[in-house]
Amino acid sequence: MTQEPAALALDWAQAGRKVALATVIETWGSAPRAVGSQLVIDSDGAMEGSVSGGCVEGAVVTAAIDAIAAGKSEILEFGVSDDEAFAVGLACGGQIKVLVQPVGDGLTLAMLQALADARDAARPIGLVTDLATGASRIIAPADAPDRFRLDRSGMEQDGTFITIQNPPLRMIIVGAVHIAQPLVSMARACGYAPTLIDPRGAFGSAARFPGETIMEDWPDEALATLKPDARTAIVTLTHDPKLDDPAIIAALRSDVFYLGCLGSTRTHAKRVTRLQDAGFTAGQIARIHAPVGLDIGGRHPAEIAVSIMAQITQTLRQAR
């Protein structure tokens, strides 16, 4: 697996190489590399990562070598012509800005280590850089909640740039039923790592879900192992309280950002009663999306999966 540029910058610097990290801070609309994309460069011109489709990398490497020698950060601004833009997959040209930071006083080894440690621990973290001085500092999700929720690195009005590093998104699906088959594919296409839980071996078979992660433990045991967090969505699909309820209880006791449960309004009313009897408050129970999915009139498994994926996306991306 290829290392992230920030982690690679740490490894190179710890090995005694002089290093700079280049980060896209502004760009045109449908760019080949998003804001926040990074390239690591050493003083000999070796590089890993990308800040464009190839049309500005050479100039960034040259500027990075100079920045390393000077020990000073620099903001590079490029006007990309129509022909260059088309060559990297764009319909028209535009502008791109790249921040080049030598690893040193402004961007320290300690900061790169904090980023690497957070990635290894699947913990969200951010880096704020003052573009006027090149000085950076580490931040937590509470410091920029909207940017963390939206996975959106970008410029702030105060002239700083925030780089967001979130853990991967996960989706845990309880019940390897027909709806789960299109749902795991949609989840993967949307950037989630899906995991199926179903102790019924005939349901959660590799033949029905080729290449997918399937756990045959009881849901509460599986969730204790998986440790769902604020970057996790949980969907229960079995209709069977013996399987769904332990998963729902575990989810309500966690920080998952989404919990959706299949079943009719009547089924959910019975579920609410059981949860109240188990000691959950109305506020806690209100976290459940049930019946699961946006009401788009879906009837077939794939249509219901679309409605679930849409609701998960809405919950993750829209302000709460």
Q: What is the pLDDT of residues 226-239, one digit of tens each?
A: 999 989 999 999 98
Residue of 41, 35, 32, 40 whose CA lies nearest to 4: 40
- Boundary of a domain, candidates 128, 148, 165: 165
Same structural domain, 141 and 268? no
Flag the least confident range among 147-161, 214-228, 252-266. 147-161
Same structural domain, 181 and 269? yes
Conformational region of residue 287, where left means phi above 0, alpha means psi within -120 to 50, and beta covers everything else: alpha
Q: Are 84 and 94 in contact (CB under 8 A)?
A: no
Same structural domain, 108 and 50? yes
What's the pLDDT tens digit per position in 185-238? 999 999 999 999 999 988 888 889 999 999 999 999 999 999 999 899 999 999
Q: Are 276 and 283 in contact (CB under 8 A)?
A: no
- Which pLDDT score, from 0 to 100, does residue 81 have? 61
Same structural domain, 207 and 125? no
Q: How many domains does the chain have?
A: 2
Same structural domain, 151 and 188? no
Same structural domain, 60 and 155? yes
- Boundary of a domain, candidates 118, 147, 165: 165
Residue of 294, 298, 295, 241 whose CA lies nearest to 271: 241
Whole-angstrom distance, CA of residue 185 vs CA of residue 179: 11
Same structural domain, 289 and 199? yes
Q: Residue 290 corresponds to which tokens in the numbers above?
A: 């049930």
> Domain range holding 296?
169-317
What's the pLDDT tens digit per position in 43-64? 999 999 888 766 678 889 999 9
Task: Provide the percentage of residues in the chain whose pLDDT is more than 90.
Answer: 71
CA Rg, the chain, in Å?
Answer: 23
- Boundary of a domain, candidates 133, 150, 165: 165
Same structural domain, 134 and 196? no
More confident residue, 256 or 32: 256
Q: What is the DSSP letter of 65?
A: H
Residue of 27, 19, 97, 105 whose CA lies nearest to 64: 19
Q: What one-character-per-residue DSSP string does 146-194 give?
A: HHHHHT--EE-TTSEEEEEEPPPEEEEEE--STTHHHHHHHHHHTTEEE
Same structural domain, 14 and 140? yes
Same structural domain, 199 and 288? yes
Same structural domain, 268 and 291? yes
Whole-angstrom distance, CA of residue 252 vs CA of residue 228: 10
pTM listed for this prediction:
0.75
Same structural domain, 191 and 143? no
pLDDT score of 182 more than 90? yes
CATH code, 194? 3.40.50.720
